[in-house]
Amino acid sequence: MACQTSQMHCLPQKRAVLPFRLHTGFWPPYLCIVGQQSPASKHKTHMKTLLNTIALIAGLQLTAAAAPIINTPTADEPQTHKLTIRVDNVKVRQGTVNVAIYNAETAESGVAFRKVRLVIPASGDVLVNFEQLPAGQYAVRMFQDVNTNLKLDYNGPVPTEPFGFSNTASPMVSFSFEKNSFPVDADKTVPVTLVSFE
């Protein structure tokens, strides 16, 4: 039986038939199988496969777009946290509160690692936020600038405006990184109390 119609197709299945194929240019008749697709049918099959592939890729893109983006620090990126300073004992609702945070290095030099000046609200909590703070030890030093002259006022050696350090509510202590520091290893809120000599 020869493969003469579009319904027949000859396929090699054994190495033994290769000499026959090389000699004649055809596959032996006994390897002919029925059911070869016509060129038009092949084209439809290829188009269907292509469309299915495009639909799959589009679906993956939509799934990726809908998924939430989670930023996880890599091994080379330091983990950061949000530190909120809650300013307590605000007796006078005017002026600004000036908050500076220090790490071990900046505490020695006296230059703040970061600082924020916040207008004191008429009511409610006074909260000062430090975003994306690298994990570590920090200390807080702050003062209330009641008359907004951008400095802490003194009468001789004694402050005349409220001030405060972290880890203490006494006006009779001086700032010390060792005593006033605390760990920041997660998002946290730290209360700091304003004190005064008046």
- Summarize pLDDT for 57-87 with one digit per residue, the tens: 555 454 444 544 445 555 567 799 999 999 9
Which residues, 6+ apart, have CB-to-CB distance to 67 below 8 Å? Answer: none
Sign of torsion, CA 97 101 106 109? Answer: positive
What pLDDT score was predicted for residue 64? 44
- Strand pairing category for 154-155 and 158-159: antiparallel
Q: Which pLDDT score is estimated for 10? A: 46
Q: pLDDT per residue over 142-181, tens digit each?
A: 999 999 999 999 999 999 999 999 999 999 889 999 999 9
* Distance in angstroms (rounded) separating the CA atoms of residues 115 and 103: 12
Q: Greater confidence, 183 or 30?
A: 183
In whole angstroms, what is the distance from residue 186 CA to residue 134 CA? 10
Boundaries of CATH 2.60.40 in the chain? Answer: 80-193
d(CA 143, CA 155): 15
- Average the pLDDT over 33-38 and give the result: 49
Question: Measured between alpha carbons, how far is 95 from 149 in angstroms, rounded to an integer?
Answer: 9
What would be the CATH architecture of the domain defined by 80-193? Sandwich (2.60)
**136 has a pLDDT exceeding 70:** yes
**Closest of 80, 83, 97, 180 to residue 140, by C-alpha:** 180
> β-strands 136-145, 181-184: how paired?
antiparallel
Enter the pTM of the model.
0.62
Altogether, the residues listed in the chain come to a count of 198
